A and B are shown apart, each in its own frame.
Chain A
Amino acid sequence: MNKIWLVIQREYLSRVQKKSFLLATLLTPLIFPSIMGIFLWISIGESENPSLQIIEVVDENNIFFIESSEQYAFSFSKIGAEEGKKMVNDGDRFGFLYIPKIDLSSPSGITYFGEKNPSMSLISFLESSIKRRIEEQRLFESGISPEAINAYRTKVSIKAITLDNSGEEKVTDATVNYAIGFLAGIMIYMFIFIYGNQIMQGVIEEKSSRIIEILVSSIKPFQLMMGKIIGIGAVGLTQFLMWIVLIGGVSSIVMGYFGLQMPQQQAMELANPELGEMMDGQNNIQNILQVINGIDFIQLTLTFIFYFLGGYLLYGAFFAAVGAAVDAPSEAQQFMLPITIPLLVGYLGLFVFVLNDPNSNVSFWLSIIPFTSPIAMMGRVSYGVPLFDLILSMSLLVGGFFFSTWVAGKVYRIGILMHGSKVNYKTLWRWIKTN
């Protein structure tokens, strides 16, 4: 035990004291808020001082009207389609919207011409304006006055509440849960790859510099492997914690500078004014706060740390085994597939299945099988997961960790002393079988 501790210390200190560690730790958190800051600065600058784009509209129906915004002005005229296109080509107009004579019950043939590809927000803005106008027109034609239409227009937003067994009610919001599950899953995925790779590099270094022969005459290979995995994991955890502190600090400075604007909301408003209008500012922020209050952060943080470390330890052992089996990093590629595939399955499964339907069968299995659970389970945890599933998944992950270190230990023990021999999957299997 004492020797494992020595290895952990060496692995930890030799990395933490490096300049590159300090740089990565300090610069990475600066990059994200900086990008966010630049984005905010550009968007604020744009909305404060918008260069007005003029869009020519030709409406053969004579019923449409599109309200100009800060960014776009709409000029209605009766010119022909060819003439309109020419105005765009000449640079007189930013775009040209052509609405031919349409059947209001199934409108088609509306076309936008532009020199540049139009932004999503412009198209959806045009679509929603035209759609609303058609709806109004049709209601009017069926005898409902515009006043009545306005009077009947209602806003609905559904408040989702989950009930747990104790009868406690929690306000939930799929968007917040999605974001948390998404971030947590991605972080675990990246952590496993970045630090797993460091384990592999470290093992290859010890093997190729032949220091391994001296080390294993002092310490059992399994202790050496575990010491390395734990030591590097501690480096990752340190870096991660420092990032949280730094990102939190720098972000709040950036936000404070731009006057406490919620960036998501602003971005959404920019993209879709109608949505912004619907999301009745004050109420929405309150709702989000309520949702955040409803999330059990202690549970979330604890499960995150558990899967963060569990996933790292499980895969870390495999990375160590791959490092032991090869003589140089360039040879490692051939053995990476069994590591990459399950990780990718977990990663893609998180997006395709888990975050969209946390309680489906596929999501269940992805979050139970130890090779995908560290990533997939985080997508479910944020939505709330039955205790039984969580306990089953966690125990299987612990079991999976013992299995992976057992297998990896066997490969490692033999691999580190093998030099210059061609190793393939068959050889690895033979190593695993030997006692």
Chain B
Amino acid sequence: MEILEIQNLNKTYGNQKALSDISLTIPKGGIFGLLGPNGAGKTTLIRIINQIIEGDSGEVFFKGEILQSKHISRIGYLPEERGLYKKMKVWDQLVYFARLKDMPAALAKERVGYWLKKMDIISWKDKRIDDLSKGMAQKVQFISTIIHEPELLILDEPFSGFDPLNAEIIKNEIIELKEKGITIVLSTHRMESVELLCDQIAMIHRSHKILEGRLTDIKQQFRPNTYEVTLSGITGILPDRMNARTVNGNAVFSLALGQDSPNSTLTALMQYGEVVGFKEILPSMEEIFIQQIKNHSYE
């Protein structure tokens, strides 16, 4: 079942189109990557899901119902531009945010206590945000988005501002939340974290959706049909197009198969030596991302 269903969503600012006929299906559970270069329309889409702004036309459904204000408390949002009340104490601030999301006071306090302990910052609870380091404040910010136990969590560049150690902590928290059945929409430029975390992705470029699907399917779809070949004991001279490197006495090169099948290629390769390795090269998300943006920019 899908937690979020977006149908033909449009949004225009003045004479600038921010979203053109976007339709998306975000299934329940799992991590959904929302990709696209700066200015593609991701933030507009996220703001519409958070009911900060409204679309011009089209529908958004949350668990089958038209998105409405009662759903606000079911969604958590970490914006790309972070912000907390600088003069407010950590504890008061988190309780305030939880209660703004309709959580009863007693439960809010219990959850704040739980999360501060879990993130190892309980001793900071009476400090003002001014007095915290940037990474510490980011942790508080992260807690503030999940404190009300949302079903859908929207994270816009969640790793920016964290050092590698804290980024790792946040990454593990995200995986843990996913295992609890929370759906996470991850908007990021960091393709390595997309590859690591996302089950599904959608790519937006210049207000249009240009790609959507399961990460593994997309990788299959865009594989260049290229294999990495490792030969030992080379007999004869390799054709020019095989730019071989020498690794541990073996020749290693990548080979674009073109129209040939892997088996026929293998047969052909045998005459040059012993085939000790023959592995398909799948494209990285980074490569797919750049390729897609380039393709659609020239249209």
Contact = CB atoms under 8 A, between A and B. Distances in A.
A14 B85 CA distance: 10
A215 B100 contact: yes
Nearest to B49: A217
A212 B53 CA distance: 13
Contacts of A210: 79, 81-83
Interface in A1-22: 2-3, 6, 10, 14
Contacts of A417: 47, 52-53
Nearest to B79: A213
B87 A211 contact: no
B52 A211 contact: no
Contacts, number: 53
Interface string B233-244: 000000000000
Contacts of A220: 69
Interface in B27-51: 47, 50-51
Contacts of B100: 3, 6, 215, 218-219
A209 B72 contact: no
Interface of A: 2-3, 6, 10, 14, 206, 209-220, 417, 419
Contacts of A211: 83-85
Contact of A216 (B52, B85, B97, B101): B52
B88 interface: yes
B75 interface: yes
Contact of B97 (A206, A209, A213, A218): A218
B86 interface: yes
9 contacts: A6-B99, A6-B100, A10-B96, A14-B87, A209-B83, A215-B100, A217-B79, A218-B101, A220-B69
B144 interface: yes
Size category of the binding interface on chain B: 20 to 34
Contacts of A212: 83
Which secondary structure dominates where chain B touches chain A?
A: loop
A218 B98 CA distance: 9
Contacts of B51: 217
Given A3-B100, A218-B97, A218-B100, A213 B86 contact: no
Given A6-B100, A10-B96, A14-B87, A217 B81 contact: no
A232 B79 CA distance: 27
B52 A209 contact: no
B52 A213 contact: yes
A60 to B, nearest CB: 76
B83 A214 contact: yes
B83 A14 contact: no
Closest 4 CB pairs of A and B: A210-B83, A211-B83, A210-B81, A218-B100
A211 B87 CA distance: 13
Contacts of A214: 77, 79, 83, 97, 144-145
A206 B86 CA distance: 10
Given A210-B83, A214-B79, A217-B79, 19 more contacts: A6-B100, A10-B96, A14-B88, A209-B83, A210-B79, A211-B85, A213-B77, A213-B81, A213-B83, A215-B100, A216-B52, A217-B51, A217-B75, A217-B77, A218-B101, A219-B100, A417-B47, A417-B52, A419-B81
B208 to A, nearest CB: 23
B213 to A, nearest CB: 28
Nearest to B85: A211
A10 B88 CA distance: 10
A146 B245 CA distance: 134
A212 B85 CA distance: 10
B72 A217 contact: yes
Contacts of A10: 96
Nearest to A211: B83
Contact of A217 (B52, B84, B87, B88): B52
Nearest to B50: A217
